[in-house]
Copies of this chain bind each other. A is one copy, B any other.
């Protein structure tokens, strides 16, 4: 089983699911738009759900890799990196094809907290919270976990507002709020 076609299917499906949603994307549409036959799809994935889970795994990997790298390029010291998260967010909002957070959308369509798709989406958020907590610890926050959770609230809020209202300056607002929080919760 050569991984080429399989990876290509996941990559292309990601774009389509991200653009059109999960329930709104049928397997026949995937056949048409990816050019991959339905037989092949069902040889690689037993169900549509399995395909979606693979898509979410790729998305998680791509997004976190990009985000971590970008944050570390934009700033050196941990406190500055906490702020740089919102600069990276800003770049994402203004990039072509921005359509909000795929995991928020996935968990909105598969609401049951026992649903594998929901579980995996929540896991993505947990990993990003862990990252922020690590940064907050390195930055010397008195309560790093609490600070990280607060910053993540700003991040999620900015994503939702940017996607819903089209206000791409949401990251800027979030950054200003984050700066205020850092000023109050980091030792001078």
Contact = CB atoms under 8 A, between A and B. Distances in A.
Contact of A125 (B100, B104, B125, B161): B161
A152 interface: yes
A21 interface: yes
A15 to B, nearest CB: 13
A115 B132 CA distance: 35
Interface residues of A, number: 46
Contacts of A95: none
Query: How many copies altogether?
Result: 2
A150 B125 contact: no
Given A153-B153, A180-B180, A163 B107 contact: yes
A74 interface: no
Interface of A: 19-21, 23-24, 99-100, 103-105, 107-109, 111, 113, 118, 121-122, 125-126, 146, 149-150, 152-158, 160-161, 163-166, 170, 173-174, 176-177, 180-181, 183-185
Given A105-B111, A153-B161, A156-B157, 18 more contacts: A19-B111, A20-B111, A21-B108, A103-B164, A104-B104, A111-B163, A113-B166, A118-B164, A122-B164, A122-B165, A149-B173, A150-B174, A150-B176, A153-B153, A153-B177, A157-B158, A157-B160, A180-B184
